[in-house]
Amino acid sequence: MLGFPIPYPEELLYSTIARAGVHDGETSPKQLLDKVFNNRSVIATVDLPSHIERLASQYRDSLGLDLRVLISRHTLWPIYSPFLPRERIRKLNRWMSGTSQGAAHLASGIAASRVKAKTNLYVCDECLKEQKSKYGECFWNRLWQVPLVKVCPLHGPLYTTNIDLDGEHRHSHIPVESSRILEPLKIESADRVFANQVVELFQVQNEGISFSQWTEFYRRLASNLGLLRGRRIDHAKIHEVVLEFWGKLWLAEAGILPSDTETSWLRGLFRKHRKSFSFSEHIVVLSALSNGTFGIRNAIAEASSMMISRKKTSVRGQEPVNANELSRDQIEWERLLEQSHPKEARQHSPALYARLYRNHRDWLMQINSANHAENKSVNKRVDWPQRDRQTAKELRCIFEKLSKDLYVPHLSKTFLIHQLKHRATVEKNLYRLPRCSALLSLYSESTDEYQARRLTRAYLMTKEKGLEIKRWSLLREAGLSDERMTDTVSALLRNILSEKTHSQI
């Protein structure tokens, strides 16, 4: 695409593409995607977009806007990358540069996170005025779209807009000027603390800290702050400090109120890390324990410098007699596996399993994987026939309401599913819900029906306004063209125009 705009500081790539459409005078979202990506099915993603390599190719090498720069400075990548292992980061980079199909959101933890991504776009009204004065146009700043951020550190509360990212705008890159600014968000002092930490996080360039480094960092942090009870971490004290600093209400609204159970995410943060924790959980703990004085940038620098040494332990008598023979424990384990599966063998002789795990771990994993029992578990937690009846009833109510409105978007299966309360469950388990599947096939509009509804809406609107019914005005109002219009709708248009001619006669 010729003349593709250069992103402003802290501008989202979503916003840059939207401005490209404005500069080019492009009003069709799909045609804009075609020009930029040569692909009309790209989803307009705010946080971790894909196909970035295609965007990088729009710029000359002298501008320095390569793939790495676009990802680190113009997406929400920096709030996820420091907390993921390096191997996963390499995969994320590959998915974001090319095709992702949702893999980036799964691997980064966004899909399963307690902290949900924002479903609307947000703005700072004062920042927009400064952008207009400095650049002559406005853009979407990436800080505004970070989950849980409700305030601009410079000006005050953010304002929500009418741009809903989950629905009819899935393929649309909407510029700021086309949005309608609604009411400001209610904020507390804790929101300012959180926003300032996120600003710090955007300045971090470190990528890929291992789980063992984060484990060691939090162990040392608890020790240095005196949050120990004997040689163990005092989880009750940490829980108390976090609640006192942030407040139960703020944490509950954020979706990260820690429980006082053994499975609490707060306890897990100070134990051996076997999974990544979100940026919000790290910020909450670090700010609370340091009373707001220790920044997330300092924590990342310290964690990345942790040197982890692995000590090999040996147990007397467990080495093989020679390099080509198995040890006595290995021979005994093979004998057990001839009679039972690995889990039963481990329960029968836990001490033997522990010795093998310490001294012959690779061999143990390999032989166990070759002797796994067949998994025959059946998920009986959900009564699917009952769920099918309940969801079908909900779907009928939704359709009755939508079918009376000529202005609703295309009633596709996806759109109808997205109106349901438990849409993800329905979407992933539609094969278990025959009633819902049948209703979706019955209620969903074909292309003919959708275009006919738009043409009918345009015709009624023109009559209500008392305007003359002309072919070109009907097509423009309905968003149709001769190239995209189906034969059935073309016939309907001819009937409307012929009726108009007969009425004049």
CB 489 within 8 A of CB 448: yes
CB 3 within 8 A of CB 35: no
Share above pLDDT 70 across residues of the chain, in percent, rounded to a whole number: 93
Residue 375 has a CB neighbour count (10 Å cut-off) of 5
pLDDT band at 451 (very low <50, low <70, confident <90, very high): very high
Strands 228-229 and 232-233, sheet pairing: antiparallel
Three-state DSSP at 122 gives: strand
Q: In the predicted model, what is the mean pLDDT of the chain?
A: 88
Tokens of 153: 């550190």
pLDDT of residue 379: 63
CB 350 within 8 A of CB 358: no
Q: Which residues pair with 164 in a beta bridge?
A: 120
* pLDDT over 50 (residue 399): yes
Question: Where along the chain do its domains lie?
Answer: 13-191, 210-304, 328-369, 384-445, 448-504
Cα separation, 169 vs 171, in Å, equals 6
Phi, psi angles (nearest 5°) of residue 159: -110, 140
Work out the end-to-end distance of the chain between its first and last CA atoms, rounded to an integer number of angstroms.
50
Q: Strand runs (DSSP E) across 49-99, as ranges?
A: none
**Over the stretch 148-191, which tens digit does the pLDDT of each residue have?**
999 999 999 999 999 888 766 778 899 999 999 999 999 999 99
Tokens of 117: 């991504």
pLDDT of residue 256: 92
Tokens of 309: 């040494």
CB 181 within 8 A of CB 123: yes
Tokens of 174: 């909407």
pLDDT of residue 309: 59
Share above pLDDT 90 across residues of the chain, in percent, rounded to a whole number: 55
Mean predicted confidence (pLDDT) in 347-366: 92
* pLDDT over 70 (residue 45): yes
Q: How many CA atoms lie within 13 A of 346 on its CB side?
A: 13
Residue with more model confidence, 279 or 207? 279
Mean predicted confidence (pLDDT) in 264-273: 93
DSSP state, residue 313? P
pLDDT of residue 320: 45
Mean predicted confidence (pLDDT) in 135-156: 95
Mean predicted confidence (pLDDT) in 434-455: 93
Cα separation, 35 vs 114, in Å, equals 37
Cα separation, 234 vs 270, in Å, equals 10
Q: How far from the centroid of its chain's Cα atoms is residue 292's Cα?
A: 28
Mean predicted confidence (pLDDT) in 480-496: 89
Q: Which residues pair with 319 in a beta bridge?
A: none
Residue with more model confidence, 373 or 155? 155
Within 172-311, where are the H helices?
189-202, 211-224, 235-246, 248-254, 265-269, 279-289, 296-304
pLDDT of residue 323: 43
pLDDT of residue 326: 84
Phi, psi angles (nearest 5°) of residue 140: -85, 115
Cα separation, 455 vs 313, in Å, equals 77
**Over the stretch 310-345, which tens digit does the pLDDT of each residue have?**
554 444 444 444 445 788 899 999 999 988 889 999
Longest dimension (CA), the chain: 108
Q: Which amino acid is at 50?
A: S
Residue with more model confidence, 67 or 168? 67
Q: Which of 84, 108, 86, 85 is nearest to 96 (CA)?
A: 108
